[in-house]
Amino acid sequence: MTVRITGLYAGMCAVILLALAVRVILLRWSTKTGIGDGGDRRLARAIRIHGNAIEYVPIALILMLIAELLGAAPALLHGCGIALVAARISHALGLASTAGVSVGRSLGITVNFAVILVLAWVDIAAFLH
């Protein structure tokens, strides 16, 4: 069995993670900050945006990989993959625009959680059947 669908979304998420990491690096260079955020709010937000993605993307992709290996429907996998990528972009843009509550940030994390829950259920249900 191949895991082409998960591979597609893992690749897209990797590009997003790299873009977020490069943003942190560029801000570190411009603020001459080696460790931490040096009190710079833009850098602190950039670090948090990247950190949030690092916290949630891997579990979503692991769950997607397991679901694909278990034979989940391609439409379900693509739906979750598209939602995950859109959620991560939405979250990053929302938090980049304001440290407070924003539609992008709220929508991004809510959809990301929904993807994790759906894929977790698919994986658990496969065991129960």
The pLDDT tens digits for 52-83 are: 999 999 999 999 999 999 999 999 999 999 99
Whole-prediction pTM: 0.95
> Where does the pLDDT of residue 50 fall: very low under 50, low under 70, confident under 90, or very high at 90 and above?
very high
Q: Which token pair is 32? A: 């001459």
The reported pLDDT for the residue numbered 1 is: 75
- Helix 41-69 vs helix 103-128: angle between axes, to the nearest 10 degrees? 20
Q: Is the pLDDT of residue 121 over 80?
A: yes
DSSP codes, 13-54? HHHHHHHHHHHHHHHHHHHT--SS-TT-HHHHHHHHHHHHHH
The pLDDT tens digits for 2-47 are: 899 999 999 999 999 999 999 999 999 999 999 999 999 999 999 9
The reported pLDDT for the residue numbered 119 is: 98
